[in-house]
Amino acid sequence: MVTPWWQGAVIYQIYPRSFCDSNGDGIGDLKGVESKLDYIASLGVDAIWLSPIHPSPNRDFGYDVSDFNGIAPEFGAMADFERLIKEAHRRNLKVIMDEVLSHTSDQHKWFLESLKSRANDKSDWYVWADPREDGTPPNNWLSVFGGPAWSYHPLRRQYYFHKFLKQQPKLNLYNRDARAAAIDVLKFWLDRGVDGFRLDVANSYLHDAELRDNPAVPMTERTAHHWAHAPNLQRRIRDSNLPENREVLDEIRAAVDTYKDRFVFGEFSEEPGLLSHFAGATHGLHTGYTFTFLEDRSFKPQVFAEHYEFLNAIEGLWPCATFSNHDVTRTVTRYGRTMESDPALAKLALTLLMTLKGTVLLFQGEELGLPDGPIERHQIHDPVGELYFPYSKGRDPCRTPMPWVAGKPNIGFSYGEPWLPMAPAHEALAAAGQEHDKDSVLWFARRLIELRKQHPALVRGDMKITEASSQILAFERFRGDDHIFCFFNLSGSAAILASSKHDTRRTFLEVGTCEHNQGSISLGARSALITSAAMYRFEVHK
């Protein structure tokens, strides 16, 4: 059996609006992406994942689609996309699109038709419900972006459901015609040569047909995470995360699998325990990721160990590994609690990411070690920032434009005013400057991806956790005769690794401080060792 290309692949996520602007309008575009394909290929990655590029009113910047079969004018034209696919394939890069099938923009022609009356061809393509007698919404569901998840429209004298903004009405995928139309979107792009899809909120295609309330999280179980956002105070098991959601995923998988060598994975938020039900070797999507690592700020060994012990217990599931994306605080800022650069931490996090089992998702700029960018109140575009500023600035800080060349206007991203401000700390981290520094995070990322590809154990091997103390995360990766041992000191103080078997000639990578002594190694704070020699017995350095 041929192993699918995506198992163990490194996929580079591009947020096109912030990647590279070719025409000076301050918004990144497809020609800009094309101009950087050689750079992307030089990283050694296997594919690019493009965040949504369809026409959109941009209330949620592409995640509110008004035309699934088009290209947003600010990004270019269909010819630009077709050329991008051709040029990416010429460099052996797969192209993955981001598709949002759970909802549309309220400006999509499907919704405009559904809105007209309760008796037309698309009247049931969205989730409509009568108000309660007192005019309040049908149930207690809350929007991810604040307030009730229902908006009233006088034309139909009904509420419509929106898990996110009111401008993002939820598709009713119980309706067979609506479901077929959503799957036809995937076929449309597969026919144009794309290699797969990332599916937004793939755990939320179906809702409770009886519109029953979500239960509350018990007071005794509530943590700071729950209180940080009102929807977190509910167990979201009625508006999403239904077991029957799998039937839609199965249909999507069947449609994608009719095309040769394609890949479809999903974003599964809120209920990681359902991952095994929604993705697998023979059911659901090919794989998916949860927010376990994306939301973690502790960088503690137990977080990684517990999640992989959970994943390893799921038969037939190939995992995704990712530490950052367009929705969360960047890795250096989240783990380092800093808006400044920290190359050592960036290298350590990249090493951990690239040695974990799974298909790796690498967000643009992580290969440069970028921290979040500063955002002022008047610069906010993201609805989450609008809701919670200054407690939270939302997702704009992780979406600030890529820095390409120090000294150029807007650090080489655009010769026009960028849609989001350039981060001053990114000037010293620009790609061109790192290109000339072989000790840079960029060069390190390339060597790391090359090391990964040299070892079958790291690409497609199994994984066994051997230690998860307050300091040390240790695990083995193995496939056939290839056996790799990975040791990470994620703490702020040194630790001792003691073994009579260690052979320094078989060390593949050292990150941070590794002092080799007779019969032991002192692994400095936030350091790592990747080796083929077994080591064990962990002692805290006094």
Annotated catalytic residues are 200, 267
What amino acid occupies position 158? Q
Contact 360, 366 (CB under 8 A): no
CB-based contact 305:474 (threshold 8 Å) = no
Residue 153 is which amino acid? H
* Residues 396/385, Cβ–Cβ less than 8 Å: yes
User: Dmax of the chain from CA atoms?
Assistant: 81
Using alpha carbons, select from 271, 364, 285, 346 the residue that is nearest to residue 320: 285
> Cis ω on the peptide bond leading into residue 401 (within 30° of 0)?
no
Do β-strands 527-531 and 507-511 pair in parallel, antiparallel, or remain unpaired? antiparallel
Instruction: Provide the 10 A C-beta neighbour count for residue 518.
Output: 5
Name all contacts of 2-7 with Cβ < 8 Å and 24+ positions apart.
3/460, 4/261, 4/263, 4/286, 5/46, 5/94, 5/261, 5/263, 6/46, 6/47, 6/94, 6/196, 6/263, 6/265, 6/286, 6/287, 6/359, 7/318, 7/359, 7/459, 7/460
Q: Are 31 and 22 in contact (CB under 8 A)?
A: yes
Distance CA 151, CA 128 (A): 10
Q: How far is CA 196 from CA 103, 253, 371, in A?
A: 19, 11, 29
Q: Residue 455 has which token pair?
A: 């070892």
Q: Is 26 left (phi over 0), alpha (psi -120 to 50) or beta?
A: left
Q: How far apart are CA 407 and CA 428, in angstroms?
A: 10
Q: How far is CA 119 from the centre of its chain?
A: 39
Quick check: helix, strand or coil at residue 19? coil
The DSSP bridge partners found for residue 473 are: 468, 488
CB 175 within 8 A of CB 124: yes
For residues 201 and 269, is the Cβ–Cβ distance under 8 A? yes
Please tell me the distance from the alpha carbon of residue 66 to that of residue 115, in angstroms, as a whole number. Answer: 15
